[in-house]
Structure 1
């Protein structure tokens, strides 16, 4: 008789959740397969599934279903011609999913799957992996470079050029500047500006690669640890992009001393305010790794001494900054990918 007894609660919600997760997981790994097979490289123009299958050495029926799924999610366009179904890259795939595109997003996509490996290994929840900061960030900044050049860098620089102080600046410090693309962009926009990227020695090797790649002459590097070393003086601007040190009171005091009177501290920063399921997952991922020297806090993007948003604003004013503007990055970018991201522009008062 136990077999005829219904459970106390219907499994509907669980089944719907599992089906949704399973469908999205399959789509994600289908995208990985498409990238690995180079499907988007061959679909600049309309082609049949048979042509693509022959080109990449794939079974035609499975490939036809793959192309149809990619069409359904907006990554391919489709048309019927002479009784044949043809596919080609949608505009978004042509721009972001091809190796030779200036805005290729393939490196961040591949990094996403690398990070998913931590999730598939349940032992990471028991035993954190300890990493050395220089080695870790020298790899991370390569991914961040490929991400930011696809939209955020251009929109950020465009937005900041409304400030006269940015237009007439002559000396900028990009603290924890990593890849250096922001300095490179500022230097391109203002030919009279000298930009200095300050970061760990291992990271600066990556910075120098991008300086050479974009052939800029007015971007320089400074090797050091901004927690321990002097960062220099007489800057018109100190710029920080998603650098957790930008929330550390000790680092902020260094920045204040390094600025000229009337100079700007521009901090593009994540302050973890929201707590939906994505945010909780980000907190988990943040805690997968532990650094040898810098002590992380429990919540994402936070280290020991990191100030939360309101405390951060109060601290800026307490040490002598005038806050000129606080803006959510979603309002600059035009989309809401990271609700925690803010940009704060503050001026050093006399």
Structure 2
């Protein structure tokens, strides 16, 4: 039997994948209604949950049942309470709360329904509103980025060699998660976050929360019209190139390189496709998200990212021994 015949002999995977969004929307709803925060300290009955959150009893019973079946809630007698996973990641009382990213995914879902149109036209469905964003969507996006980055930033800070570096530029750093953890790891390091002004409130709040106001500063910056006049010992670019086409992405790398001191280090953190563009899965699917939401953005291959660096005068280019939870990688080099 051929591989093609083996794969088509069982439709279960196709049907499961096709309806997977039902499970996603159940999770999204649990987060949006804040069910997990309500149940993280003590359990409640269906009637109590419905009354506390102003839900219909029918709706409360259906969503609580679904979340229990998904393993996010547990039940003893008539009492429902959070699973350990929900307490750790889905309650707002947890420092590891991932709800903002869940909400971000929910906001994106309305555009994914029009993916066939985007594939046909090659044009985005969602108009980028980064300069005039919806406040709730902006909060979900930026704090979602903080949620995600916080899961791996301590590990990245251990991996990235910044010995001898006194200054670091976090270009497009949003809420500044990586700048924060790099400074926590390297007591002599000072950092600046260059990003659009809309990120300032979130970044400054987090910087203050970590007690790093004297070492990290946010600088409003738009790479399409602003220039960087300062010089840094290291530059970090995390998940900003995928929002741009090749010409703009190359320009960003050149801007970053031009801000480096001689011998300075540059690090690119991205969802990286294999050079044959057949995987890994997350970067490949993420390219569809960029098709929906940007004019030219996409996931880049390892060779493309290395070429951006080489054409900007970077040497000693290498891919670090690192893979993030969404199959992200880090490529780095040094300015001559």
TM-score normalised per structure 1: 0.73
- The answer to whether structure 1 residue 346 and structure 2 residue 330 are counterparts is no
Q: Is the 8 A contact 1:138 1:203 kept in 2?
A: no
SS of residue paired to 2:321: strand
SS of residue paired to 2:184: helix
SS of residue paired to 2:237: strand
How many residues in Structure 1 have an aligned counterpart in Structure 2? Answer: 315
Partner of 1:87: 80
Partner of 1:49: 46
1:327-346 alignment runs, 5 A limit: 327-330=321-324, 335=325, 338-339=326-327, 341-346=328-333
1:147-186 alignment runs, 5 A limit: 147-150=144-147, 152-153=149-150, 155-163=152-160, 165-186=161-182
Partner of 2:232: 235
Structure 1, 319-328 or 265-274: larger mean CA deviation: 319-328
Q: 1:146 aligns with which of 143, 161, 164?
A: 143
Q: Is the 8 A contact 2:271 2:329 kept in 1?
A: yes
Q: 1:321 aligns with which of 303, 315, 318?
A: 315
Q: Distance in 2 between matches of 1:187 and 1:237?
A: 12
Partner of 1:71: 68
Q: Is the 8 A contact 1:233 1:260 kept in 2?
A: no
- C-alpha spacing 1:240/1:115, structure 2 compared with 1 (3 Å): same
Tell me how large the CA RMSD over aligned residues is: 3.7
Partner of 2:107: 114
Q: Distance in 1 between matches of 2:24 and 2:14?
A: 16
TM-score normalised per structure 2: 0.76
Deviation per CA, 1:89-146: give whole Å up to 9, x if none. Answer: 1111112222333222222222222211123458964674544553359987644543
- The answer to whether structure 1 residue 288 and structure 2 residue 321 are counterparts is no
- The answer to whether structure 1 residue 211 and structure 2 residue 207 are counterparts is yes
Q: Is the 8 A contact 2:111 2:126 kept in 1?
A: no
| Structure 2 unpaired stretches of 5+ | 1-8
Q: Is the 8 A contact 2:153 2:177 kept in 1?
A: no
Q: Distance in 2 between matches of 1:122 and 1:255?
A: 33
Partner of 2:270: 269
Q: Is the 8 A contact 2:314 2:333 kept in 1?
A: no
- C-alpha spacing 1:316/1:140, structure 2 compared with 1 (3 Å): farther
Partner of 1:253: 254
Q: Distance in 2 between matches of 1:264 and 1:85?
A: 58
Deviation per CA, 1:176-216: give whole Å up to 9, x if none. Answer: 11222221222233333211111233444543343345442
Q: Distance in 1 between matches of 2:257 and 2:134?
A: 25
Q: Is the 8 A contact 2:195 2:220 kept in 1?
A: yes
SS of residue paired to 2:258: helix
Structure showing greater radius of gyration is 1
Q: Distance in 2 between matches of 1:246 and 1:342?
A: 19
Q: Is the 8 A contact 1:246 1:252 kept in 2?
A: no
